[in-house]
């Protein structure tokens, strides 16, 4: 795991200088504290900050092929590098190091731009072909590792994080209002957009090629599903056996490291599967870490301890109080480089800090299983709502909504009449690909009530539903409804929030590499071919995944209903009605009006409501966190302070 930056002249400009690359890469020291490396070759300059995981002595980047005509800097891991190395040696390639990075340049020699097709990993790659004077940028299939770029003053500037790009003085620092509104709708920006104007993200599964001043971007991989009606007569037990073998192999590959590897253990199904596989199918010592909360509504320590006892793992937990979240939140925003609608990333940043202090650099997590195998309540909601649309007078299915959220104090399914109204909203969109997501988005979009008049005017023509439809591949017209639900979830919440703000950024804030076995592309492709009934049987989520673990997990864990990871939101920023100082400052009428994104009167009322402890449900809490994180983003990046404010 590392940080990368680069500059490529695409106009008539002087060659990049080492000094400016040093300034850029210094901003990413947290991603790679173990060393830096540089390449200056005519129109291109590359730099790398290293977090040493594999080949501790010889893996310093940039790394080149035999005649030093192809160079790469790379952020991430290639998990199948050992197998690829054997194949490339047999094809006549010669290696100088034992690093996984070196397979990239030799694969490119062998296969050209198709080299990415052979990689099993999580990566952001910059490759310079000096013979062709061609720069290639590539990002992993699901967007685990970030890569941003911009064009400024005749140069392409790129980096693992936006803060490294902002080190180049020609790059403007401006919030993109459409990007902000997308986060306040979908929880993430879409495709290549970011929350900053003129800063783009290379989308997951995409490759950029820059040659002779021409920039082209293409998709090399995507989530694909069979046509509706395409069936299989295979027994569920056969599928479960194949799934278990794939999971074991994915974990085996991702345990490869020259440093100790730990694992997160939340107490839920997904992390329990990963840790159980480590215990039963590898010789890696099992070291686990978890979060616990003072607030019982969010705490899962009892379930965690059940698995700790079952596995006999060496385990430690980080206890997180509301005051800890308030203190950590500015730093979390600084690393996330994005507006956020939940505080949940901040405790994970505290957890990664504990992992680092415990002497670990790598952890495996269960992230991705819900998107791949249909684990979220959203998929259950959609199934019931589709029934409601087809049978509007039925009294049976709406009652099932009351059982969807046993972990919520104020469940939208808690009252029968309210449940029918809440989940009946948007039934007219039954034929649209975004149908399943409408309840979540309509809740999040309530943040727009706090927009300033100027922001409302500039966003008046935006159609959030049309934007989603434009992302859908033509083939999706023939997919099952659940396949469409999964596709949108993977391309919004997962890639843009869970793997970014809540994933890579919170781990790398403390120089920790997170690994995600459930996002092995072989597992995704296997799961996408499954009949929907094997993902959700009735209202039992992740049916086949649970079946594949029969006998390996206690049934109390294996059959437990999904409880998503959450953390206290607006309540974290007030103690006995008194706000944390930086929060009061950022919510002041002067600060709100000066920034210009929100209405001072409306946000003032929201502030007082939250201070009085009267914020109810997701809408108020998400609005509060969105306003606060946006104001922090404005202070840290637009105004140029570049640091998190002191918490008093």
Which positions are annotated as active-site residues?
Answer: 2
Backbone angles phi, psi at 142, to 5 degrees: -110, 0
CB 108 within 8 A of CB 135: no
Per-residue burial over 415-454, b = 16 or more CB atoms within 10 Å of its CB, e = otherwise: eeeebbebbeebeebeebbbbbbbbbbebbbebeebbbee
Could you tell me how many residues make up the chain? 648
HEC string of 274-322 equals HHHHHHHHCCCCCEEEEEEECCCCCCCHHHHHHHHHHHCCEEEEEEECH
CB 24 within 8 A of CB 159: yes
CB 366 within 8 A of CB 527: no
Taking CA 333 as the corner, what is the angle to CA 157 and CA 173, rounded to the nearest 5 degrees?
40
Per-residue burial over 370-384, b = 16 or more CB atoms within 10 Å of its CB, e = otherwise: bbbbbbbbbbbbbbb
| CA 563 – CA 406 distance, rounded (Å) | 8
- Which residue from 150, 135, 153 is spatially nearest to 208, judged by alpha carbons? 135
Q: Cα 617 vs. chain centroid, distance in angstroms?
A: 24
Question: Strand 314-320 vs strand 287-293: parallel, antiparallel, or unpaired?
Answer: parallel
- Which residue from 498, 201, 194 is spatially nearest to 370, judged by alpha carbons? 498
Look at residue 213 and give its three-state secondary structure.
coil
């Amino acid at each position: 795991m590392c940080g990368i930056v680069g500059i490529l002249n695409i106009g008539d400009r002087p060659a990049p200088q080492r000094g400016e690359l040093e300034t850029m890469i210094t901003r990413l020291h947290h991603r790679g504290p173990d060393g830096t490396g540089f390449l200056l070759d005519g129109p291109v300059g590359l730099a790398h900050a290293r977090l040493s995981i594999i080949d501790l002595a010889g893996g310093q980047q940039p790394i080149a092929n035999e005649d030093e005509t192809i160079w790469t800097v790379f952020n991430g891991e290639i998990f199948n590098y050992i197998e690829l190395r054997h194949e490339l040696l047999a094809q006549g390639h010669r290696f100088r190091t034992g690093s996984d990075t070196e397979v990239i340049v030799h694969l490119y020699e062998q296969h050209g731009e198709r080299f990415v097709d052979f990689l099993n990993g999580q990566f952001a790659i910059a490759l310079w072909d000096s013979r062709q004077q061609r720069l290639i940028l590539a990002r992993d299939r699901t967007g685990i590792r970030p890569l941003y770029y911009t064009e400024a003053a005749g140069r392409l500037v790129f980096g693992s994080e936006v803060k490294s790009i902002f080190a180049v003085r020609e790059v403007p620092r401006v919030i993109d209002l459409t990007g902000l509104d997308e986060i306040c709708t979908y929880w993430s920006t879409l495709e290549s957009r970011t929350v900053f104007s003129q800063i783009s993200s290379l989308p997951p599964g995409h490759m950029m090629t820059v040659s002779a001043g021409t920039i082209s971007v293409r998709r090399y991989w995507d989530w694909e599903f069979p046509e509706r009606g395409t069936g299989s007569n295979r027994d569920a037990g056969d599928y479960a056996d194949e799934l278990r073998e794939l999971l074991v192999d994915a974990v085996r590959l991702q345990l490869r490291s020259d440093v100790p590897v730990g694992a997160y253990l939340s107490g839920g199904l997904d992390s329990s599967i990963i840790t159980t596989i480590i215990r039963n199918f590898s010789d890696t010592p099992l070291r686990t870490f978890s979060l616990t909360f003072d607030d019982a509504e969010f705490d899962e320590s009892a379930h965690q301890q059940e698995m700790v006892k079952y596995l006999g793992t060496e385990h430690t937990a980080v206890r997180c109080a509301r005051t800890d979240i308030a203190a950590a939140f500015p730093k979390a925003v600084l690393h996330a480089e994005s507006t956020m609608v939940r505080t949940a990333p901040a405790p994970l940043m505290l957890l990664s800090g504990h992992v680092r202090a415990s002497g670990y650099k790598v952890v495996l997590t269960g992230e991705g299983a819900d998107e791949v195998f249909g684990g979220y309540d959203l998929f259950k909601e959609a199934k019931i709502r589709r029934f409601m649309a087809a049978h509007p007078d039925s009294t049976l299915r709406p009652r099932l909504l009351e059982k969807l959220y046993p972990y919520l104090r104020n469940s939208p399914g808690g009252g029968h009449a309210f449940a029918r109204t809440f989940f009946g909203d948007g039934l007219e969109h039954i034929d649209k690909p975004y149908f399943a997501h409408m309840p979540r988005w309509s809740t999040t979009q309530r943040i727009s009530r706090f927009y300033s008049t100027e922001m409302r005017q500039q966003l008046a023509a935006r159609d959030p539903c049309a934007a989603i439809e434009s992302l859908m591949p033509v083939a999706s017209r023939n997919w099952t409804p659940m396949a469409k639900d999964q596709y949108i979830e993977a391309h919004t919440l997962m890639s843009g929030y869970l793997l970014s703000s809540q994933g890579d950024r919170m781990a790398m804030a403390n120089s920790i590499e997170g690994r995600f076995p459930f996002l092995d592309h072989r597992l995704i492709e296997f799961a996408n071919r499954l009949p929907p009934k094997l993902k959700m049987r009735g209202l039992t989520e992740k049916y086949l995944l649970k079946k594949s673990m029969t006998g390996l997990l206690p049934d109390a864990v294996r059959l437990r209903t999904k409880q998503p990871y959450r953390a206290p939101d607006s309540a974290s920023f007030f103690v006995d009605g008194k706000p944390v100082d930086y929060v009061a400052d950022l919510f002041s009428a002067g600060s709100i009006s000066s920034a210009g994104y929100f209405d001072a009167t409306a946000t003032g009322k929201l502030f007082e409501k939250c201070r009085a402890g009267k914020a109810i449900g997701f809408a108020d809490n998400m609005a509060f966190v969105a306003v606060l994180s946006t104001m922090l983003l404005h202070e840290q990046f637009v105004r140029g302070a570049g640091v998190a404010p002191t918490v008093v």
